[in-house]
Chain A
Amino acid sequence: MADAGSRIMTTPPAATAPLLRRLGETHRAPVAFTIDGQPATALEGDTLLTALLLNAGALRQSEFGDGPRAGFCLMGACQDCWVWTEDGGRLRACGTPVQPSLRIVTREAPWPPLG
């Protein structure tokens, strides 16, 4: 199990402005979950990717040190959208429905910068 406290913060927090923009279907029930220890809200039926990118500017830091990543294909083909959970698990965000129990880490960067 990963100890979040032991990871080194080598990058500034990813830009926090949300990446996606919600255009409708806002009648759905809210779902509370956690991003980087902070409470966040999504709607029932959101994928974890949608939920995260409506609250943040990235999903994770590339383990090859080339900066933040936010997914790419949204159809389970590119594998770019995996995210860390606080207990060290990994989830493919585009195919995982958001759930109240989810505690996601996006800012930790245990990877050395590229080059």
Chain B
Amino acid sequence: MAAPRVIVVGAGPAGTRAAELLAAAGLRPTVVDEGRASGGQIYRRQPPGFRRDARTLYGTEAGRATALHATFDGLGPAIEYLPETLAWNIHGGALYVQREERARRLPFDALLIATGATDRMIPLPGWTLPGAFSLGAAQIALKAQACAIGSRVVFLGTGPLLYLVASQYVKAGAQVAAVLDTAPPGARWKGLPLMAARPALLAKGAVLIAQLMRAGVTMRRGVVPRRVLADAAGTRVAGVAIATPDGGEEVIACDAVGMGWHLRAESQLADLAGCAFDFDADSRQWLPRADEDGRASAPGIYLAGDSARILGADGAEIAGRLAALAVLKDLGLPAPPGQDVAALRRQRQVMDRFRRGLALAFPWPAGLVASLPDETLVCRCEAITAGALRQSATELDAPEMNRAKAFSRTGMGRCQGRFCGIAGAEIVAAARGVPVEVAGRLRGQAPVKPLPVAALADDASTLEST
């Protein structure tokens, strides 16, 4: 019998640990990675020729980052590594991938999806201006390019990344104008009992905030942002306007803003594989259903890392191992020695308690999103306004997001709703007076990212033979 064909999509913490374990079991998994080198986003590597050391790049996580990179690099020929390769569809028991202008169909017996997350975004008025970036972008600019997104930067949103990126900017010598957290001042205490599951990480967070305070960075909680302001020419960011208690506005001047409200799971492939999704009330987003080891509802599909549950990098390493062990078990193969599934499951539960604590401490400001002004560009790909989306939900009677997308084109642009879909559902739900889960979620569509037409032309001629 031929060796089972196992594919891992993603080479971040979850994908790396999964690939390591599958290789240790004697399989030769295929690892599909959109990046040029393994590491994913959080442990993204700087390009060749850059000289900063791991401590500068990854701070307290330097040891974990270098260990993960070393593990992946050490796998060598024990895996088939496909870097700079996009996984863009799943159909008929095969994964469809593309690199440059070549598309391939990769049949699989088991597919482990570890595609990570992106920033969860609020389409605040002015968010399309040059100088407005996601928090993840602000971090990538620094980590992978040694650049700041501006000369005087505001960080706006909520979640651990808000404080992490701000502190990384301060350390790198960039000027941070303010850290504006939309979480109410008391929210942190609500999250504390669950976050106490990981006291060491909690302490790291406290140190970050203390460092920002010592650096004299303005930090506000309970911020109600109104919009990102443009300069007189309308060509770049000039400030952030926030509401004051008396109903007025305060402007914080800056030339760049990094914004994000924790993370959203990158779950399109699970959707295309036919996996069931459930609404997760804690994080207020739809997530693919998985058992405690990462088995999805569709046979042969396994989920690990932030694309399944936002457990963070450490949680992703554990989830990657668990999912790989599940793959082996279901294929009837023995696990490599030294794997303690029960211990891994317990660790994952600890990570999940912390996740729920974070959701309480840094809540998604649903009310703010629902009340965005009509003129707000919700869909940045195609410049569709909140007003047009509301109209599709009310006058045109779209009961949920996919119908509203058909009427308004919100979510139909190049980003496929990654940056407008979650906010769009809040707007549709509020306009119809229903809970946000009733407004549903945008279905994944292939290709999950734009493809060169040449790749598809090539596809037709090569698919049959592979």
Contact = CB atoms under 8 A, between A and B. Distances in A.
Interface of A: 12, 14-15, 19-25, 27-28, 44-47, 50, 53-54, 57-59, 62, 64-80, 82, 97, 114
B147 A20 contact: yes
B278 interface: no
What is the size category of the interface that chain B forms with chain A?
35 or more
Given A72-B419, A74-B133, A45 B34 contact: no
A20 B150 contact: yes
B214 interface: no
Interface string B132-146: 111011001110111
Given A23-B173, A68-B235, A78 B146 contact: no
A35 to B, nearest CB: 14
A47 B145 contact: yes
Contact of B136 (A14, A44, A75): A75
Contacts of B233: 12, 15
26 contacts: A14-B130, A14-B235, A15-B235, A19-B130, A19-B256, A20-B147, A22-B146, A28-B50, A45-B145, A62-B128, A66-B128, A66-B383, A68-B130, A68-B236, A74-B136, A74-B141, A75-B137, A75-B140, A76-B449, A77-B266, A77-B415, A77-B418, A77-B449, A78-B418, A79-B450, A97-B47
B230 to A, nearest CB: 8
B381 interface: yes
Nearest to A44: B49
B146 A25 contact: yes
B47 A45 contact: yes
B48 interface: yes
Given A44-B49, A45-B47, 6 more contacts: A19-B130, A20-B148, A24-B52, A67-B235, A68-B129, A78-B418
B130 A77 contact: no
B51 A78 contact: no
A75 B118 contact: yes
Nearest to A77: B118
Q: Which of B136, B141, B172, B377 has the most CB of A within 10 A?
A: B141
Contacts of B132: 72
Given A21-B148, A21-B151, A69 B130 contact: yes
A76 to B, nearest CB: 6
B112 to A, nearest CB: 20
User: In the complex, which of the residues B133, B147, B381 has the most CB atoms of chain A within 10 Å of its own CB atom?
Assistant: B147
B146 A23 contact: yes
A76 B419 CA distance: 12
Nearest to B450: A79
B383 A62 contact: yes
A64 B383 contact: yes
B378 interface: no
Contacts of A67: 128-129, 234-235
Given A24-B52, A72-B380, A57 B236 contact: yes
